[in-house]
Structure 1
Amino acid sequence: MTNERCMTRTHIELWNERVLPDGLVPVSFGTVLRGSLLPIAVWLGVAAFVYFIYNPIVAALEGGLFLAFLLLGLTLRRRSGHSAKCSLYGATGGVLDKSMAGF
């Protein structure tokens, strides 16, 4: 897969699709993050809450969980033939998207 084909709406699913341009166009990593502001806020809010209420170790465990899911997504995308850049974009957007599935 080429980078141009991989960096499209069909390969990077964003939780908040309103930030994507119309059609299949390349998107930047900033667009991926801007489309995921709510999931990022939730992850950071939960981490801050458990840091101050429970223990910093619990917040580190949450960060480790996020990192584990991100690395799993990167590995699966690289094995399926995506480029490193596409894998990073897709894994980041995917983890943030799937973490908000219950909301």
Structure 2
Amino acid sequence: MTNEHCATRTHIEVWNGRVLPDGLVSICFGTVLRGSLLPIVVWLGIAAFVYFVYNPLVAVVEGALFLISFSVGFALRRRLRHSIRCSIYGAVGGVLDKSMAGF
């Protein structure tokens, strides 16, 4: 894949599709994060809750789960020969998207 076509709507799924521009255009990392505000708030809310109510170690375990999920998503996208930029965007969007599957 060429770099100019890799970070497009067809390769990166964002949980809230309403923030994505129409058509196949490059998007920035801010757009990925803006489209994933609800999952980010859920991840941070759970981390803050368990940090203060239970133990800081539980919040570290949640962070580790996020990093493991991100690493697996990044590696799978790189294996499919996506660019590094597209792999990062897609891994972040993918983790946030899959974490909200139950809602």
Q: Determine the C-alpha separation between the residues in 1 that align with 2:86 and 2:38.
A: 22
Q: Determine the C-alpha separation between the residues in 1 that align with 2:46 and 2:38.
A: 12
CA drift of 1:37 comes to 0.3
> Runs of 5+ in structure 2 lacking a partner?
none
Deviations 1:22-55 (A, max 9, x none): 1111000000000000000000000000000100
Residue number in structure 1 paired with 2:52: 52
What value does the CA root-mean-square deviation take over the aligned residues?
0.6
Amino acid at match of 1:15: W
Residue number in structure 2 paired with 1:15: 15
**Which TM-score applies when normalising by structure 2?**
0.98
Q: Determine the C-alpha separation between the residues in 2 that align with 1:3 and 1:66.
A: 26
> Runs of 5+ in structure 1 lacking a partner?
none
Residue number in structure 1 paired with 2:34: 34
Q: Determine the C-alpha separation between the residues in 2 that align with 1:26 and 1:92.
A: 16
Amino acid at match of 1:75: A
Q: Determine the C-alpha separation between the residues in 1 that align with 2:46 and 2:3.
A: 34
Q: Determine the C-alpha separation between the residues in 1 that align with 2:81 and 2:99.
A: 24
Identity of matched residues, %? 74
Deviations 1:55-97 (A, max 9, x none): 0000000000000000001111111101111100000000000
- In the alignment, structure 1 residue 86 sits paired with structure 2 residue 91: no
Runs of 4 or more consecutive aligned structure 1 residues displaced over 2 Å after TM superposition: none
Amino acid at match of 2:31: T
